[in-house]
Amino acid sequence: MNNKICDMLGIEFPLVAFSHCRDVVAAVSRAGGMGVFGGVNCSPEMLEEELSWIDAHVDGKPYGLDIIVPNKVEGKGEQLDPEAVLASIPDEHKQFTNDILQRHGVDTGRIAGDIEAVRREQVAFTDNLRGGTAEAILEVAFRHPIGLIANALGIPPQVMLDMGKKHDVPVAALIGTRDHAMSQVAAGVDIIIAVGGEAGGHTGDISTMVLIPEVCNALAQIGDDTPVLAAGGIATGAQMAAAMAMGASGAWCGSVWLTTVEAETNPVVKEKMLAATSRDTVRARSRTGKPSRQLRSPWTDAWQAEGAPSPLPMPLQSLVAEPPLRVLDKLSQGDNQGARDLSTYWVGQGVGLMNEQMTAGQVVQGFKEDFLTAYERLAANLGE
Amino acid sequence: MNNKICDMLGIEFPLVAFSHCRDVVAAVSRAGGMGVFGGVNCSPEMLEEELSWIDAHVDGKPYGLDIIVPNKVEGKGEQLDPEAVLASIPDEHKQFTNDILQRHGVDTGRIAGDIEAVRREQVAFTDNLRGGTAEAILEVAFRHPIGLIANALGIPPQVMLDMGKKHDVPVAALIGTRDHAMSQVAAGVDIIIAVGGEAGGHTGDISTMVLIPEVCNALAQIGDDTPVLAAGGIATGAQMAAAMAMGASGAWCGSVWLTTVEAETNPVVKEKMLAATSRDTVRARSRTGKPSRQLRSPWTDAWQAEGAPSPLPMPLQSLVAEPPLRVLDKLSQGDNQGARDLSTYWVGQGVGLMNEQMTAGQVVQGFKEDFLTAYERLAANLGE
């Protein structure tokens, strides 16, 4: 395809695949799109290992990296006291999660230690990020032949923009409103990823259908030609064509890869996703403290019910919700029915369009065909 | 344009305009789209007058009618006791609205009588609908040369479907989920209006970008060729092209007409809408008891605030909210700043794309041009 994003990224089809699974990343890049590895939860050592694997499996095709580097790190370099953080989680919240598990027949006594261990790992990781790991991660990243670096939260710090420029790697940023897009462009970002409220994970509440033209119009008005990738609810080539008809230069998709053969998604959750309609997601603050869209399950329902505790601010709510959910993921792969019922993961409303397990390469191929069908449909309407 | 909806409705451009303003309806039909008059709040006599006016101003072009005819009317024929209904509104809710008004400097003592008068009118109207007015409305409707009849809530009653068939008038129904679309098609509806959560007024929470392909795929799977009109957030021709790339046969728009020259929208609200971005709406139960999307104002904020009373079920919440809002509308057109601040109306997120006052005819023309631009943009991406 012939457009700004394809030129900038050196790819043939402007479909960008965000995934925490390196197999998906490599497969999408090999198929003509661009895989972007979600490295948010990686230490520098883990990232080095993952990117090396991708280098060896991507057949020289371009791939990207998505991380979170806070623009301002409060108290950077200072050490947090992990014990103090752990102690600041209210008992009410821990008790509430235990109650949910027990109501679903999960023996919380047996897994209390596992949950606590995950929680301690998480605190240590949060502490690392504050302690300067961000720079170490950037150094690892730019030692590899990445073709895109995206910052998932807020305006990228100057060091990231500078390193991108130095290595000729476009820097992308995720936004959910017109005004945030304008701030990102003013800061010097090369690609805007406009995320509609139907997206999985952290998301605002402006829909993709409105956000894309609103952002594109605003950029056009100031004569700025920063390309826009459309995200949020997109799981088919027809939707990608729709977004590009409205001015986007391509699509950024996350959810659609979760049900692929390559994805490391919990198989129980994968099955739920394949069966789900678009109604089976919920946007709630209960997983991280900020609104994020997830697959509905009795777990999310419990947090939405009257009388549930108010979600804590970031990062405390993650320290409440993530450890039991990770342990449930493991339990659900045995025969623990309660764990299977409760299990959930982030996913967008596009889950209603994900009805068949395919390889990542087949998904890319499906997008290409569906894109053409959509274009021809439009042409037929015009009698062309 | 060459498609199913154009053939079925006898129009040239598949843009359908829902409006409570007869001038907008006639102007859109004259410009090649189809105006659909929102007659929900009309008595049979009012509807007769409005449709006669449209007949005289539409130059013989097709137009439609949107009404609400409940599928089952509980206690149909029985008379409600208006005094009993009025007495069932909790004082807490009336006091809460009074408090909002007073906090904004509105002299509630002076307008208490006006508010009560509007409330009594509303109760009488609700009573009428139960008492058999629905049939009288259908009789008026089919005496006029309407080219479409839409039922805004639920599956149309058999009498509406039968009258549509008898008079060769397509019957349309609004839906917000795939399953509702399937039920409507099974009931024999001729056109599905798929309304995304970004729409103004009553709306679900599945986005247009997801709902359109999900509904179109589901229809295709059962070999059904009922055409789908896309609604929700659509205020430009590029979005209409996007929806049609995904399989819709046209667009159903409501919000975009509210800021036209012809619209009878409160001028204060019209100005607010022209200045608003997509962030300035809220989907809340506080206006009617069911979730509806409205322009944000201190009025909607007050109802969203902690400690606000829970919205009552339909139709009671409308009897709480509508009377003061109608009186505020009048006050705001004088120099009452509090009333100006509080004033609001239903509108979708597409309000962020409505930045300039135009005539309804200019809006249609703009849609046509923007549609072509979008198509050419897609063609250029494909190197065509």
Nearest-by-Cβ selection for B211 from A3, A238, A278: A278
Higher pLDDT, B262 or A131: B262
pLDDT for res A384 = 82
* Average pLDDT for chain B: 94
Contact B311, B259 (CB under 8 A): no
Residue A19 to residue A260: CA distance in whole angstroms = 11
Q: Kindly state the percentage of chain B with pLDDT values over 70.
A: 95
Q: Which amino acid is at A44?
A: P
How many A×B Cβ pairs under 8 Å? 167
Contacts of A132 (CB under 8 A, 6+ apart): A76, A77
What CA–CA distance (Å, rounded) separates A304 from A316?
18
Kindly state the average pLDDT of the residues A294-305: 98
Mean of the per-residue pLDDT values of chain A: 94
The domain at A4-381 falls in which architecture? Alpha-Beta Barrel (3.20)
- Is 60 exceeded by the pLDDT of residue A77? no
Instruction: Read off the pLDDT of each residue in A48-55 and give the average, rounded to a whole number.
Output: 98
Looking at A30-89, which runs of residues are DSSP E strands?
A: 34-38, 63-67
Amino acid B75: pLDDT: 47
Chain B environment of A3 (Cβ under 8 Å): 380-381
Measured CA to CA, the distance from residue A20 to residue A31 in angstroms comes to: 18
- DSSP state for residue B157 in the 8-state scheme: P
Q: How far apart are CA A377 and CA A375, in angstroms?
A: 5
Q: Is B168 left (phi over 0), alpha (psi -120 to 50) or beta?
A: left
- pLDDT tens-place string over residues B28-38: 999 999 999 99
Token pair in block for residue B81: 């006791």
The tokens for A334 are 């045995």
Residue A74: what pLDDT?
A: 45
pLDDT at A19 over 90: yes
Residue the block writes with tokens 């302690």: A131
Which parts of A245-371 are beta strand (E)? 250-253, 281-284, 292-295
Q: What is the pLDDT of residue A125?
A: 75
- Does residue B202 register a pLDDT over 90? yes
Q: With CB atoms and an 8 Å threshold, state whether A207 touches B197.
A: yes
Q: What pLDDT does B78 receive?
A: 57
User: What does B205-239 look like in DSSP terms, one character per residue?
Assistant: SS-HHHHHHHHHHHHHHTT----EEEESS--SHHH
**Residues in Cβ contact with A213 at an 8 Å cutoff, skipping those fewer than 6 apart:** A246, A247, B236, B238, B239, B353
Residue type, A354: M
Instruction: Give CA–CA dist A76/A72, Å, rounded.
Output: 8
Look at the block and give the residue holding tokens 């019910």: A305
Distance between CA atoms of residues B155 and B168, nearest Å: 19
Q: Where are the domains of chain B?
A: 4-381
What whole-number distance in Å separates Cα of residue B263 and Cα of residue B257?
A: 7
CB B360 within 8 A of CB B24: yes
Interface ipTM: 0.96
**What's residue A130's pLDDT?**
57
Considering CB atoms only, which of B207, B348, B375 is closest to A198?
Answer: B207
B376 closest CA partner among A371, A13, A378: A378
Q: Which residues of B touch A210 (CB under 8 A)?
A: 198, 233, 239, 278, 348-350, 352-353
Name the CA dihedral angle for A116, A122, A125, A131, rounded to a multiple of 10 degrees. -80
pLDDT of residue A164: 97
Contact A213 B279 (CB under 8 A): no
Give the pLDDT confidence score for residue B72 in this predicted structure. Answer: 58
Write down the pLDDT at residue A116: 95
Query: How distant is the Cα of B220 from the closest Cα of chain A, in angstroms?
Result: 13
Helical ranges in B35-157 per DSSP H: 44-57, 82-87, 91-103, 108-128, 134-143
pLDDT at B74: 46
pLDDT digits (tens, 9 = 90+) for A316-370: 999 999 999 999 999 999 889 999 999 999 999 999 999 999 999 999 999 999 9
Please identify which residue in the block is written with the tokens 């991708």: A54
Residue, of A129 and A145, whose pLDDT is higher: A145
In the structure, what pLDDT confidence band is assigned to residue B81 with cuts at 50, 70 and 90? confident
Interchain contact, A375 vs B245, CB within 8 Å: yes
So what's the pLDDT on residue B41?
83
